[in-house]
Structure 1
């Protein structure tokens, strides 16, 4: 028998380490060549690691959440015969086979604490009528205290048996008298400790670094998107086999038209080298909520795509992020990010910059409100209009407040006159 040490493989250019997300095997398991051993994560991409040999797992490098350096031991497999890279056992006697891990049996539920029945508490300091009423209600001190905390008069509670009020009788009273304000505000849950690993750990690290290193400022402007929504409806009515347009491709198109005039917005800041790179192409990050957390797939060269191409790429990337099929290069390289919660967008947001970018734009929820509108005849009247706030957060080391405000003001003019989006 020989030991084969399987080291952490090189999982990508420039990657020095990876985090263990989930072990598919444990010590004592028999594995075969090409069997799925473990999932590791690097740069928001989850990678499957497969076994290069047949054998029995006798050692693993760490637990879920541990970070393993490329080239260091990932696991050790006991194999038959000689295997390239195997190290013969040095011990004279073979080590005993490890016992498979067995989950501990759940602890038995504690026996219910017996209810101690005592005589009613002596009553003092009250009127004679109060003493008579209280004396007629039989209950333990614990029941009396609970009723007192809940503001319940025990005389109103009907005991189930023996004429003695118990906790169960209080529960019934609470159930049938919820309208009186006696019902609990919510159900009690056990405390739950959850280890922060994988994508959630990476998100936490990135957000902490962004807030720690970037002096954010946020600017918010209200925009009238009534005409933009009308144009979107018309385009969707005649789209044929094209993808359905949401508001997002229209907004991205507007951003891309204006970014050449505001190159400081579409940039990345290497604060260690103290270098700002203003990018000519717009690689638009698109914050996407998934079951595993927030991911940011990237629309490469967004400035070169029309509305329908943007809509198709937005749908493709969002689906890939949610089903886990997004490739590593589709989740990196953004130069500016847009984040939107759609109908949940709220009135205004203060989004956190996706470091090392210097700006992030957050469209908010569309709401209808009455507004004063001046018609072509010059008469001012009240109309129902669709309004949306647009937030932008910027790195104040790189972007001045005036530039951010001017950019959003130009976005406002463009989307309030949407025909300009279709003009060359």
Structure 2
């Protein structure tokens, strides 16, 4: 028997150390080639570390949350063969997991219709004895299926290679649980004294760090304005009825992107990045709109590049493509970085007002609240109108309050008179 030592890989971009986010194996486990051993977090992405060999885990080189230097021993695996020590030369092949290099305010933008709330699993099949922090092997599609069903994946017995959980395993788990549905449930009003401690590591640590960094460094201020979106919603419905089958359905987001592009012509100071260490503001002609998108691993911000050169349907298609790529773990680093201004929305869950956190080094973020029907006075008559708030935040070190108000008022005018979005 021999020992194969896998060292922390050089992931590139001058990174000297990474955080060990999660182990997917433990000492004594048998592993196969290409099986994911661990997740590591860099400043820009979560990365899976796969095994290059078949064998048995005999030692782990660190604990979750530990920051490890590139080249340090990550894991040792006992393999068949001569009894000499073998080492994996860095870099080990890695696969990027769906994690944004930037983390924005904790709000979600969905280019499609708002998803229904996730159902909680009302039935459970036979449980599998896994550690609470152990992540079973499963494809992204299976993980999303389990999430939609409200099932904890670690409780499902996997029938695939190396115990990989398959779609069939989820169906069997639910079916087994349904057969036990008549079993008496625990008392609904029983006292509980349990506690759970969750270590802040990996993606959650990055979110915490970036949120703290943004609020400490930037001088945030927010501005909220009410907008009558009746006319633009009528236009959207008309365009979808006429062209939806051939060009695709339009949500409100492409119209908002277009409004940003047009308004920024008169307010270029909003489409900027501020290097507070060098004390330099860079205003950009290109409008790269970050669209905050929620995924299973946290908030991600895919970027619609050169929005100034896109039509409504082009923007809609790109928003949809990027959102799907982000949620399925297919988005590249380039697609998740480089935004110049961010658009964030919770759709129908958007509430009345929000206070989005800036995506440094950007200086403006536009937050969209939900659309509600309300009685409004129009030309002396009380009528029902569709109303929506924009809750936006700015960096007061760069953006003056008057300019921020005028910028949002410009967006309001464009949305309330949608023909002006297309008048050159």
Q: TM-score, normalised by structure 2?
A: 0.71
- The offset of 1:2, in angstroms, is 4.9
Alpha-carbon distance in structure 2 between the residues aligned to 1:69 and 1:387: 53
Structure-2 change in CA distance of 1:366 and 1:75 (3 Å)? same
Alpha-carbon distance in structure 1 between the residues aligned to 2:43 and 2:305: 18
Alignment match, 1:65:
65
Q: Contact between 2:223 and 2:405, CA under 8 Å: does it hold in 1?
A: yes
Alignment match, 2:346:
341
- The offset of 1:330, in angstroms, is 1.6
Q: CA RMSD in A?
A: 2.5
Structure-2 change in CA distance of 1:317 and 1:370 (3 Å)? same
Structure-2 change in CA distance of 1:394 and 1:62 (3 Å)? same
Alignment match, 1:206:
210
Indicate whether 1:279 and 2:313 are aligned: no
Selected match of 2:228 from 219, 224, 229: 224
Structure-2 change in CA distance of 1:189 and 1:245 (3 Å)? farther
Alignment match, 1:143:
none
- The offset of 1:83, in angstroms, is 5.9
Bigger mean CA offset, 194-203 vs 225-234: 194-203
Alpha-carbon distance in structure 2 between the residues aligned to 1:420 and 1:278: 25
Alignment match, 2:314:
309
Alpha-carbon distance in structure 2 between the residues aligned to 1:292 and 1:4: 31
Q: Contact between 1:44 and 1:331, CA under 8 Å: does it hold in 2?
A: no
Alpha-carbon distance in structure 2 between the residues aligned to 1:196 and 1:65: 8
Indicate whether 1:397 and 2:389 are aligned: no
For residues 327-366 of structure 1, what are the structure 2 equivalents within 5 Å? 327-366=332-371
Structure-2 change in CA distance of 1:260 and 1:70 (3 Å)? farther
Structure-2 change in CA distance of 1:17 and 1:328 (3 Å)? farther
- Tell me which structure has the larger Cα radius of gyration: 1
Residue aligned with 1:339, SS: strand
Cα deviation, 1:225-284, whole Å, max 9, x if unaligned, reads: 111111111011112222211111101110011213212111112222222221221111
- The offset of 1:390, in angstroms, is 0.9
- The offset of 1:55, in angstroms, is 4.1
Alignment match, 1:130:
none
Cα deviation, 1:29-88, whole Å, max 9, x if unaligned, reads: 3444433322223345332212234444332221223232322221223443246658xx
Structure-2 change in CA distance of 1:40 and 1:400 (3 Å)? same
Alignment match, 1:52:
52
Residue aligned with 1:347, SS: coil
Residue aligned with 2:351, SS: coil
- The offset of 1:416, in angstroms, is 0.8
For residues 90-239 of structure 1, what are the structure 2 equivalents within 5 Å? 188=192, 190-239=194-243
Q: Contact between 1:347 and 1:364, CA under 8 Å: does it hold in 2?
A: yes
Q: Contact between 1:59 and 1:77, CA under 8 Å: does it hold in 2?
A: yes
Q: Contact between 2:2 and 2:86, CA under 8 Å: does it hold in 1?
A: no
Alpha-carbon distance in structure 2 between the residues aligned to 1:33 and 1:291: 26
Alpha-carbon distance in structure 1 between the residues aligned to 2:285 and 2:34: 43
Indicate whether 1:254 and 2:259 are aligned: yes
Tell me the matched-pair count. 326
For residues 362-377 of structure 1, what are the structure 2 equivalents within 5 Å? 362-374=367-379
Cα deviation, 1:124-167, whole Å, max 9, x if unaligned, reads: xxxxxxxxxxxxxxxxxxxxxxxxxxxxxxxxxxxxxxxxxxxx
Unmatched runs of 5 consecutive residues or more in structure 2? 89-128, 132-186
Alpha-carbon distance in structure 2 between the residues aligned to 1:50 and 1:342: 37
Alpha-carbon distance in structure 1 between the residues aligned to 2:357 and 2:257: 19
Q: Contact between 1:44 and 1:199, CA under 8 Å: does it hold in 2?
A: no
Bigger mean CA offset, 407-416 vs 22-31: 22-31
| Misfit runs of 4+, over 6 Å | none
Alignment match, 2:139:
none
Alpha-carbon distance in structure 1 between the residues aligned to 2:313 and 2:66: 43
- The offset of 1:317, in angstroms, is 1.7
Residue aligned with 1:37, SS: strand
Residue aligned with 1:369, SS: strand
- The offset of 1:10, in angstroms, is 2.0
Alignment match, 1:321:
326
Alpha-carbon distance in structure 1 between the residues aligned to 2:347 and 2:130: 44
Q: Contact between 1:56 and 1:78, CA under 8 Å: does it hold in 2?
A: yes
Indicate whether 1:267 and 2:250 are aligned: no
Residue aligned with 2:270, SS: coil
